[in-house]
Amino acid sequence: MSVSMSELWLAILLAGLLSWVASALIHMLIKYHNADYRGFANEEAVSSALADKSPTPALYTLPYCRDMKAMGEETMQKKFNDGPVAMITIMPNGMPPMGELLLQQILFFVFGSFFIGYLATLSITTNADFIMVFRQVFVAGFLTYGWAQIPLSIWMGQPWSNCIRYLIDAMIYAAVTAGIFAFLWPNLH
For the chain, helix, strand, coil in percent to 5 are 70, 5, 25
8 Å CB contact between 13 and 126: no
**What was the pLDDT predicted at 58?**
96
| H/E stretch holding 59 | strand 58-62
Position 167 pLDDT exceeds 70: yes
**What was the pLDDT predicted at 99?**
96
Tell me 26's DSSP state. Answer: I
Q: Which amino acid is at 175?
A: A
Residues 108-155 pLDDT 10s? 999 999 999 999 999 999 989 999 999 999 999 999 999 999 999 999
Positive/negative CA dihedral, 31, 35, 41, 42 = negative
Residues in the chain: 189
**What was the pLDDT predicted at 54?**
87
Phi-psi region of 172 (alpha: psi -120 to 50; beta: other; left: phi over 0): alpha
**What was the pLDDT predicted at 88?**
93
Position 24 pLDDT exceeds 90: yes
**What was the pLDDT predicted at 89?**
94
8 Å CB contact between 56 and 89: no
Residues 31-63 pLDDT 10s? 999 999 999 999 999 999 999 988 999 999 999
Compute, in degrees rounded to 10, the torsion defined by CA atoms 151, 154, 156, 160.
100
**What was the pLDDT predicted at 1?**
82
**What was the pLDDT predicted at 23?**
98
Three-state secondary structure call for residue 12: helix
> Which of the four pLDDT bands, split at 50, 70 and 90, describes residue 189?
low
Position 188 pLDDT exceeds 80: no
d(CA 74, CA 148): 33
Tell me 3's DSSP state. Answer: P
